[in-house]
A = this chain, B = another copy of it.
């Protein structure tokens, strides 16, 4: 499991797609403009996302990309793994043919950690992120509302 800017671009684009998904497909041009990612780079990323059955491409006018499933059914780990290179993972290729026991020891430790990160990100969906943001947004508005009310109270008090 790697976390690079490439994966970030993919997740960002997918979040944008999920957020703007109404009935109509979303064009890459729109996403490119909103997220300031080059169109051709997005094309590369979405070619992989399509092969991974995460998005569906719709051709022709009014076309674009749609999520293949509900945003709650698409997790972050699969988006990142779709665009990442397969990551040769190990030097001993799981065969455990390291020189002695020591190399495989720390190697095994790292693999365990990597697995944990994958599990963690696999438990978070695009829908979760959008929802959490929505909650934050609402919370922030309520916070502002509270301030406005407080302000009004002070105005009445001073009047």
Are B124 and A108 in contact (CB-based, < 8 A)?
no
Q: What residue in chain B is nearest A128 (Cβ atoms)?
A: B113
For A108, the chain B residues whose CB sits under 8 A away are 133
Interface residues on A, range: 35 or more
- Interface flag for A27 (CB, 8 Å): no
Would you call A148 an interface residue if the criterion is a C-beta within 8 Å of the partner chain's C-beta atoms?
no
A147 to B103, CA, bound (A): 27
Min CB distance A56 to B, Å, is 20
Measured CB to CB, the nearest residue on chain B to A2 is B3
Q: Which residue of B lies closest to A1 (CB)?
A: B3
By beta carbon, the residue of chain B nearest A80 is: B3
A19 part of interface (Cβ distance < 8 Å)? yes
Contact A34 B103 (CB under 8 A): yes
* Chain B hits for A1, CB < 8 A: 3
| A113 near B11: Cβ-Cβ < 8 Å | yes
A4-B2, A35-B103 known; A133-B120 Cβ under 8 A: no
A residues lining the B interface (CB < 8 Å): 1-5, 8, 11-12, 15-16, 19, 34-36, 76, 91, 99-100, 102-103, 105-110, 112-114, 116-117, 120-121, 124, 129-130, 132-133
The 5 closest A-B pairs by CB, nearest first: A3-B3, A15-B106, A34-B102, A16-B106, A12-B106
